[in-house]
Homo-oligomer: A and B are copies of this chain.
């Protein structure tokens, strides 16, 4: 097990030491489960009381928290990120599948595999696919024809990717995710529906992570685009021709209807729905279970069904909460007016 002094760790995370810089650290853990010799973190003031009880030997803490500290500390900006850096020093990621091709994998001879690619059991890879160096495609995945996947990607079991889609570098797709399924488009004709061919594709840029059992539909024509750094939680639905901007995050079970365009650095809560053909600005935040019926300007924080600016929704919600009493007040007013008349 590697061991470092607090001074050594502080220099790795650009932090300032408070207390004994020679404290020796050999691990990192949560405040309520850390043991002696481990470093813990404090980011949320709610957990401050745990500081007095923790068995950790040091803590990494936000610069702005002006507490008297009962143990040696490293003060930083970006506590989560800095703790993560230290955590990874003590817990380097394990190789999830050794490079190599499992003999049960079915790989079309025209497919090009990069160096140190790992292909699991029962995988299928179609014609003209290109898989980048270091990418791991776990058991049971299905990659259809003409798919391109970048470097150091990780496809967990039973992911499937339809033909012609393109995936960037360092992309993680979780179990059961579906990339490139048909968009939902039909031409009505005399009481029936005729399928509109979905001949577009999905483009997923670098650093994207897609949750388990998500569905990302291909474009009717053109591209559905998931831009760099987007993170989708489980069971999220992205319809045809949607564009999700860089570093936008969406919590589980949210859905975006066709052709809607989401800006960058947007934060979407769980079970949110957005109608089609609208534009959501950059840095927008959308509360859980909201229904978004129209365009949203940059940096707006919205919430509710239908979604409104959050302070407005809270004010409305406060009145809704007292509606039964409000009704009585109106009834009382009506009686009083009647008497006055």
Contacts and interface: CB of A to CB of B under 8 A. Distances in A.
Interface string A219-232: 00110000001010
Contacts of A207: 192
B193 A175 contact: no
A192 B80 contact: no
Interface residues of A, number: 106
Contact of A181 (B102, B144, B211): B211
A106 interface: yes
A288 B315 contact: no
Interface stretch (A16-24, A48-56, A317-325): A317-325
Contacts of A121: 106, 124
Given A178-B176, A330-B333, A255 B252 contact: yes
A230 B87 CA distance: 34
A299 to B, nearest CB: 14
A234 interface: yes
A64 interface: no
A308 B318 CA distance: 13
A239 interface: yes
B237 A235 contact: yes
Interface stretch (A3-11, A65-73, A134-142): A134-142
Contacts of A174: 178, 181-182
A242 to B, nearest CB: 11
29 contacts: A87-B196, A96-B163, A104-B106, A124-B139, A140-B142, A142-B157, A158-B158, A158-B176, A172-B195, A174-B181, A174-B182, A175-B215, A184-B233, A184-B251, A184-B252, A191-B265, A192-B247, A215-B235, A234-B237, A235-B255, A252-B255, A252-B257, A255-B271, A257-B288, A308-B321, A319-B327, A326-B330, A329-B334, A333-B337
